[in-house]
Amino acid sequence: MKTKELFQKLEEAGFEVFMRGSLITARCDNQTFNIDPTIDPSNVWAKLLKPLAVYLNTPLDERKSQPKYRVRLKGFNADSGKQYLTCENKNGKLFGCHLRRGLYQEFTKEELCDLTKKAKLNNQQWLAMLISDPENREPVEEKWPN
């Protein structure tokens, strides 16, 4: 983006923009921001701003993740541990497996509903009952805040 384009975009967003020495200054709602136009794109601040811009442009109601669950297959145990409802990918092919990276084992409630519709089972009622029983669903602890 050219400096001229930045000025135009900031003005369109309601900022008063001007050069103050070698800095670009943008003012809006009694707040002033100084931007160094010589910051290299590999600078840590430049790396921070790109994902931050995407996040800030995400509507508030879309920022929270839906809670995820693992569905325990009670009574199914192996030497490797407890068995969970597992998908190789999101195509609906289901099987039981211990917790393992690379397999799809954490689902939102919506994804669980979709699974019951997509699953190629002789008895889809069994799957619906398994998934709908809250005792079979274990909440997944998120690594980051929701």
Model confidence pLDDT, tens digit, residues 62-88: 988 889 999 999 888 888 888 999 887
> Is residue 118 pLDDT above 80, yes or no?
no
% of the chain beyond a pLDDT of 70? 92
Residue 2, token pair as written in the block: 């050219």
Give residue 121's pLDDT: 63
Contact 103, 86 (CB under 8 A): yes
Domains of the chain (ranges, CATH numbers): 3-62 (3.30.250), 69-139 (no CATH)
CA distance 23 to 33: 10
The CA angle 65-68-69, to the nearest 5 degrees, is: 170
Please give the backbone phi and psi of residue 88, each rounded to the nearest 5 degrees, phi first. Answer: -65, -40
Give residue 146's pLDDT: 58
Taking the complete model, does pTM exceed 0.85, yes or no? Answer: no
Amino acid at 37: P
The CA angle 20-46-144, to the nearest 5 degrees, is: 130
> Is residue 90 pLDDT above 70, yes or no?
no
Residue 142, token pair as written in the block: 């998120």
